Amino acid sequence: MKLFTAILLFLLPSLSQAAIISGSMFGWEESTTIESIGDGSNQVSMWWSINTSDRGWFYGSGNALTRSDVALATGVTDISQITDASAFSFTNTFVGPVCDADCNGNGVGDFLVWRNIDSGFYGVLRVDDIDTTYGADYATLSGTWWFQTDGSANFSVVPVPAAAWFMGSALAALVGVGRRRRRKLV
């Protein structure tokens, strides 16, 4: 029983970690709406405009009606590389021009980080595509976003709770088998 309690106490901190939630956006028209991503209680707000085909400008709290500042995550090609979003250089003005996957040599769109200036929560957007098929006046953005629900700046891989529960269940079964053997020996 002591082993099971120790294992459970070891697993509880990882099981209680907040999740990184994510989603996709399609057809976000430039210079029209402010988009917000978050968990329902906290959020970051984002706004953008077209630069040229496959490039855009992204705005912080000083240039748009948002309560979030923005930073370009230079060199990031995967969300798991963002282990401390606070380390980026945030601005309340703008960053850009920022590339989508078509204009980046590595085939991955640029990553942007927003920080809510009131709550300190972080959100990330990867610019997957800026579509100017119908001209710059009708440009749209498609992207993938992530939001850290615990307010931390870490977007690296979070332990999967299901895997932790599976491991805990397996260990509990082993403890049960061990007890059963002891009873047979008596």
Structural domain includes residue 49: yes
Structural domain includes residue 82: yes
130/117 Cα distance (integer angstroms): 27
Average pLDDT over residues 165-181: 49
Query: What pLDDT score does 75 carry?
Result: 94
152/161 Cα distance (integer angstroms): 18
The answer to whether the beta carbons of residues 85 and 70 sit under 8 Å apart is no
Find the helix or strand (DSSP H, E) in which 95 lies: strand 94-99
Query: What pLDDT score does 8 carry?
Result: 36
pLDDT band of residue 63 (cuts 50, 70, 90) is confident
Structural domain includes residue 84: yes
Arithmetic mean of pLDDT over the chain: 82
Query: What pLDDT score does 66 carry?
Result: 87
Average pLDDT over residues 53-70: 92
Measure Cα distances from 12 to 76, 87, 150, 182 in Å. Answer: 31, 29, 16, 29
120/115 Cα distance (integer angstroms): 6
Query: What pLDDT score does 142 carry?
Result: 97
pLDDT band of residue 184 (cuts 50, 70, 90) is low
- pLDDT over 80 (residue 90): yes
3-class secondary structure, 145: strand
Structural domain includes residue 1: no
Q: Which of 90-104, 129-143, 160-174 has the lowest mean pLDDT?
A: 160-174
* Residues pairing with 6 in the sheet: none
Structural domain includes residue 130: yes
123/116 Cα distance (integer angstroms): 8
Q: What is the DSSP letter of 140?
A: E
Measure Cα distances from 179 to 6, 8, 174 in Å. Answer: 17, 18, 9
- Number of domains observed in the structure of the chain: 1
Give the domain extent around 113. Answer: 18-158
- pLDDT over 60 (residue 9): no
Structural domain includes residue 11: no
Structural domain includes residue 174: no
Count of Cβ atoms closer than 10 Å to residue 118 Cβ: 10
Structural domain includes residue 148: yes
The answer to whether the beta carbons of residues 58 and 112 sit under 8 Å apart is yes
The pTM assigned to this predicted structure is 0.76
